[in-house]
Amino acid sequence: MSATLAPPSISFGPVLEQKLGKRVTVEQRPGADIPTLVTDAVTLKEAALFLRDDPATAYDLFLDLASVDNSKLPGNLAPKDGSRFQANYILYSTRRNEHLRLRVNLPAKDPAVPTLTGVWPAANWFEREAWDLMGIRFEGHPNLQRLLTHNGFVGHALRKDYDKSQRWLCTEEDLLQTELAARTDDPEDMFETMTLNFGPSHPTTHGTLRVVMRVDGEKIVAAESECGYLHRCFEKMSETHTWVQVVPYTDRLNYCSPMINGNGYVRGVEQMLGIEVPPRAKAARTVLNEFSRIMDHLVCIGANLVDLGALTNFWYAFQPREEIYGLLEACCGARLTSSYARIGGLAKDVPDNFVEWSRALLPGIREKIADIDGLITKNKIAWNRMRGTGYVSKENAIAWGFTGPCLRASGVAYDVRKDKPYEMYGDVDFDVPISTDGDNFARYLVRMEEMRQSMRIIEQLLARFPKGPINSDDYRVILPPKEMVYNEMEGLIYHFKLVFEGVKVPAGEIYSFTEGANGELGYSLVSDGSGFPYRVKVRPPCFPLFASFEHIIKGSMVSDAVATLGALNIIAGELDR
Amino acid sequence: MKTPPPSLPVRSPAGKIAPPLGPGIPSSSGADFLTTKLDVAVQWAQSNSLWPMPFGTACCAIEFMSVVSSHYDLARFGAEVVRFSPRQSDLLIVAGTVVDKLAPVLKKVYDQMAEPKWVISMGVCASTGGFYRAYHVVQGIDEIVPVDVYVAGCPPTPENLIHGIIELQKKIQSGELARHREAKTFVPIRVGVDPDLSIPAYSDGVMARVPGKKELPEIGETAESELNAKARAAAGEGDR
Ligand code: SF4
């Protein structure tokens, strides 16, 4: 089991010691996934600056802020120093390809840390979220308001003493009353600019995003975006379900590519359990991940172009999706919400003709992609609408915490599949397309090329699709086959224990990350050794993307904001969880 | 005595309108005409030209997209003119989870639609909150707006949604839904927990037109009220 592994080492230990002395310690926890540094609220900012700026560390990308309420941990796991909350900053260095966790332990009463928005602008929304759901105060934060819940909400939902079904009255007054909107009557500004509300029920906000803009004619002079209109309490719900029961919830995070979410989650749990899945499951997961990526990109491109007025592509994009749905349905019985991944494998084996079926899908996808390509890539109107709009420089993309196609469109070649391969990605040959243009058209091109690369991956895997069992034979985590349950005492016991108690994940924590369709999809999981997750925190790839939206569109036209919103591919399900 | 509902004109092979089977007047002069009740004709027209406004919030919206796009082609059922403005639509399809924060928005969208209007609740989330029995999720949109057809599934298959639309068309044609609804104020949506705040009795009044509508969930037990008080106490410590 993983618990026997040595703690991960850090390369910058001496520099760290020299700069910050004993105020930052390296956590020596056996079996930890990524190196962990522990500091206190006073040193946090200094440590953050060091980690960002020192060439030996160079943690330039702020990935996540996972807060934990430790008050319900069993005695032996409870923090020794009497602290209650934890703020875990997950960082990544694009130069050194390394992750790091920076941890601060906080007391039960008035937990507060200095804000890191000045160090990593991406921290802004993550801190608001932690304030909203966990009640950790971030001193000096420019706008520490609730983000996911409404203003009528009382309490902090992810604290352990908060009842999971306690709802609070929300009226129209409790929705975002932005600074911008409040300033409408500023006498000096009269008639010069006006406030324009955009969403949440607006065709191009895809249901649940909201932006309030201040416009001068058609030009946006300021904007403020808001999310939370689809906050379905995924993280709280996870805590009340067993490890396996969380899988269906993960499907509904990014519902354009459900398979990828489930895969990311079970991988995290598998790492905690220290189990390996058989090659056949790995290959099947990888193939289905890539099909999901294609589906996701197709929706993104199709919907983005609809917003720009090019409806035809939408019909083109949806046809291959329907065909892939057919394959998914044959695998798991559902089109969209597949719930197919399981800890230790897949819910059931892929159909016998999986390889042929998958192969047969590819020409159709290629054809439709070529159709879209032919219509758009050299289209004058598309160029006018997409080139140069929604520009994000490389520096900004990193500072705002971009990952995935949007980061690659700004010129950073970070792709988890390539840089930290998982499942079968290490065994296949594929390219990571990047662009240095950083605009909407670059995002479109990157996605188009990624779909082609995905097909390359699929083809290589289908050519040598492994035979053998689909599931791990570790029956502590996965149901034994039915014959075994009926005929053998042991099988029956395993079955019984799994059904009644669920998978027992050893106490510990992990940050597990995979490449979602939108970027790095991270799961910070904490287990207390019972059958239920103690804490599940998702790093949704489009959260930082939407957080930066208000900066990207500043100075552009309203219609360009529409193009940009589509090109960023914000999926409300994972944005708000 | 109840007359059977008059049927609709049927084109004969010669391209002429065949005599209606209901109380129409068969033509003796050779000219084509038909008589029917105005209501019936209007209901027939309404049911076959539904203009849906998709209030798509989550995964169900993706399936809704499938229904309107090429493969399932909702145009075959006379409901493909998707309008994103509530002012222009008469069928509200709520596809996806509606959370507390979105509830006032949904209410507003519904109020903006002109009568006659219908509501389909697509998916278990919109119908009951689905498997999100949680602190921020509306436990069924019928807490806020009246619903005509509930479509089960998570997400409903496209066939299922189409079935729902056909059922709605039948209901419209039968005249069952030609009733006016009034819901002028936003009904605060708070599922009863807190004993000292009066809970608006949503379940009676004009909206309780859904047969067999579920009761407001009974969550309010002492233990939870205590939690509640604690949550508020915690929040009172300079938090808000
Ligand atoms: S019913 Fe299921 S598919 Fe539909 S919005 Fe709810 S969770 Fe998503």
Asked if residues B114 and B87 have their Cβ atoms less than 8 Å apart, the reply is: yes
Write down the pLDDT at residue B22: 44
Does A163 lie at the interface with B, CB-CB under 8 angstroms? yes
Residue A392 has pLDDT above 80, yes or no: yes
Greater model confidence, B104 or A536 = A536
Lowest mean pLDDT among A11-20, A182-191, A209-218: A182-191
pLDDT tens per residue, range B210-236: 222 233 333 333 334 444 455 555 555
Q: Which of B88, B93, B99 to mutate to test the interface with A (most CBs of A within 10 A)?
A: B99
Is the peptide bond prior to B116 cis by the omega test (within 30 degrees of 0)?
Answer: yes
pLDDT tens per residue, range B133-185: 888 888 888 777 878 788 888 888 888 888 888 888 887 777 665 543 443 33
Is the peptide bond prior to A433 cis by the omega test (within 30 degrees of 0)?
Answer: no
Query: How far from the centroid of its chain's Cα atoms is residue B48's Cα?
Result: 16
Asked if residues A530 and A540 have their Cβ atoms less than 8 Å apart, the reply is: no
Residue with the smallest CA separation from ligand 1 atom 8 is B59
User: In chain B, what percentage of residues exceed pLDDT 90?
Assistant: 0
Local confidence band at B208 (pLDDT 50, 70, 90 cut-offs) = very low
Of B55, B57, B59, the residue with max ligand 1 atoms within 8 A of its CB, to mutate for a pocket test, comes to B59
Q: What pTM, to 2 d.p., does this model score?
A: 0.81
Residues of B with Cβ-Cβ distance to A208 under 8 angstroms: 57-58, 102
Local confidence band at A555 (pLDDT 50, 70, 90 cut-offs) = confident
Distance A454 CA to ligand 1 centre (A): 27
Greater model confidence, A37 or B27 = A37
- List of domains in chain A: 5-139 (3.30.460.80), 234-575 (1.10.645.10)
Of B64, B67, B124, B138, the residue with max ligand 1 atoms within 8 A of its CB, to mutate for a pocket test, comes to B124
Average pLDDT estimate for A63-67? 89
Atom of ligand 1 nearest to the CA of A232: 7
Distance B20 CA to ligand 1 centre (A): 44
Contact check, Cβ <8 Å, B131/A237: yes
Residue A146 has pLDDT above 50, yes or no: yes
pLDDT tens per residue, range A278-307: 888 888 989 999 999 998 898 888 888 888
Atom of ligand 1 nearest to the CA of B131: 7
Q: Taking Cα atoms as reference points, which of A528, A503, A557 lies closest to residue A245?
A: A503
Greater model confidence, B189 or A43 = A43
Local confidence band at B203 (pLDDT 50, 70, 90 cut-offs) = very low
Question: Burial level of A345, CB count in 10 A (0-12/13-18/19+)?
Answer: buried
Average pLDDT estimate for A78-96? 84
Q: Which residues have any ligand 1 atom within 6 Å of their CB?
A: A 252, 337; B 58-60, 96-97, 123-125, 130, 154-155
Torsion, Cα A333 A334 A335 A337, to 10 degrees, reads -150
Write down the pLDDT at residue A565: 86
Q: Cα distance from A201 to chain B (closest Cα, Å)?
A: 7
Lowest mean pLDDT among A80-89, A422-431, B27-36, B189-198: B189-198
Residue of B nearest to A205 (CA): B57
Q: Cα distance from B73 to chain A (closest Cα, Å)?
A: 10
Residue with the smallest CA separation from ligand 1 atom 3 is B155
Local confidence band at B3 (pLDDT 50, 70, 90 cut-offs) = low
Of B55, B64, B97, the residue with max ligand 1 atoms within 8 A of its CB, to mutate for a pocket test, comes to B97
Local confidence band at A348 (pLDDT 50, 70, 90 cut-offs) = confident
pLDDT tens per residue, range A168-206: 777 666 666 666 665 655 556 556 777 777 777 776 666
Residues in chain B, total = 240
Does B174 lie at the interface with A, CB-CB under 8 angstroms? no
Does B239 lie at the interface with A, CB-CB under 8 angstroms? yes
Distance A248 CA to ligand 1 centre (A): 10
Greater model confidence, A65 or B71 = A65
Interface of B with A in 102-131 (CB under 8 A): 102-106, 108-109, 131
Q: Mean pLDDT of all residues in chain A?
A: 83
Q: Taking Cα atoms as reference points, which of A129, A155, A152 lies closest to residue A141?
A: A129
User: In chain A, what percentage of residues exceed pLDDT 70?
Assistant: 93
Asked if residues A251 and B58 have their Cβ atoms less than 8 Å apart, the reply is: no
Pair type for strands B17-18 and A36-39: unpaired
Residues in chain A, total = 577
Is the peptide bond prior to B155 cis by the omega test (within 30 degrees of 0)?
Answer: yes
Average pLDDT estimate for A355-360? 88
Helix (H, G, I), strand (E, B) or coil at B221: coil
Average pLDDT estimate for A254-264? 87
Q: Which two tokens stand for residue A426?
A: 């290490």
Does A135 lie at the interface with B, CB-CB under 8 angstroms? yes
Pair type for strands A25-26 and A36-39: antiparallel
Atom of ligand 1 nearest to the CA of B58: 5
Asked if residues B24 and B40 have their Cβ atoms less than 8 Å apart, the reply is: no
Interface of A with B in 102-121 (CB under 8 A): 109-110
Most confident of A2-11, A283-292, B16-25, B161-170: A283-292
